[in-house]
Chains A and B, each alone.
Chain A
Amino acid sequence: GQQLNQSPQSMFIQEGEDVSMNCTSSSIFNTWLWYKQDPGEGPVLLIALYKAGELTSNGRLTAQFGITRKDSFLNISASIPSDVGIYFCAGQLTGGGNKLTFGTGTQLKVEL
Chain B
Amino acid sequence: DAGITQSPRHKVTETGTPVTLRCHQTENHRYMYWYRQDPGHGLRLIHYSYGVKDTDKGEVSDGYSVSRSKTEDFLLTLESATSSQTSVYFCAISERMPNNSPLHFGNGTRLTVT
Confirm or deny: A40 has a beta carbon within 8 angstroms of a beta carbon on chain B: yes
Confirm or deny: B62 has a beta carbon within 8 angstroms of a beta carbon on chain A: no
Q: Across the two chains, which residue of chain B brings its CB closest to A30? A: B100
30 contacts between A and B (CB under 8 A): A1-B59, A31-B100, A33-B102, A33-B103, A35-B105, A40-B108, A41-B1, A41-B107, A42-B1, A42-B90, A42-B105, A42-B108, A43-B105, A48-B100, A50-B100, A88-B42, A88-B43, A90-B43, A90-B103, A92-B102, A94-B97, A94-B98, A94-B100, A97-B31, A97-B48, A97-B50, A99-B33, A99-B58, A100-B103, A104-B42
B94 CB, nearest partner CB in chain A, Å: 5
A98 adjacent to B100 (CB under 8 Å): yes
A98 to chain B: which residues have CB within 8 Å? Answer: 31, 94, 97, 100-101, 103
Interface size on B, residues (CB 8 A): 29
Known: A43-B105, A97-B50. A103 touches B42 (CB 8 A): yes
Binding site for B on A (CB under 8 A): 1, 4, 6, 30-31, 33, 35, 40-45, 48, 50, 88, 90, 92, 94-95, 97-100, 102-105
A92 to chain B: which residues have CB within 8 Å? Answer: 100, 102
CB within 8 Å of A: which B52-100 residues: 56, 58-59, 90, 92, 94, 97-98, 100
A37 CB, nearest partner CB in chain B, Å: 9
B19 to chain A: which residues have CB within 8 Å? Answer: none
B31 to chain A: which residues have CB within 8 Å? Answer: 97-98
Docked complex Cα distance between A50 and B4 (Å):
25
